[in-house]
Structure 1
Amino acid sequence: MSAQPVQPAQHAEHKRRGVTAKLVVAVLLTAVALIFIFQNTGSQEVHFLGWYFSMATWLWILVIFLLGAVVGSIFPWLRSRRR
């Protein structure tokens, strides 16, 4: 006979839970993001300092979002502080 390892009660309970609120939110956000991407596949052109760039609209919005995240992390003192 081989002995089976005993799992802690918390670990077994966590496995039985199934669908969590985080999972539901993640699935909904993914669905909304995919809908947004598929509805904004048209190309847009941007003129900057004599250069011309052309990309899909959703890609431009992603680039702007990422630039905002980088600026926000580089300059944390621009964020409001709560006391």
Structure 2
Amino acid sequence: MSPKTSERGTKAGGRRGSLAEAMTPGRIVVLVLVVLALVFIFENTGETEIRLLIPVVTMPLWVALLSTGVIGALFGAFFMRRRR
């Protein structure tokens, strides 16, 4: 077996390992929390009234929950990026 052949084998094995390296315990916890949040959001489909400063808006509860989650995630990403 030549050195070139053995290098290819380690690179192919390294690619498989990169997925395992990318899935850190913190990322797994975040992924599980995102899935649980989405299940919670889409289980709450009833209509609700929401006051947006002055007007009262009637919308499905899942839309309000999802938009609040997205806004929170954007703020979190913004502040984490500024900290670095």
Structure holding more helix per residue: 2
Q: Provide TM-score, normalisation by structure 1.
A: 0.46
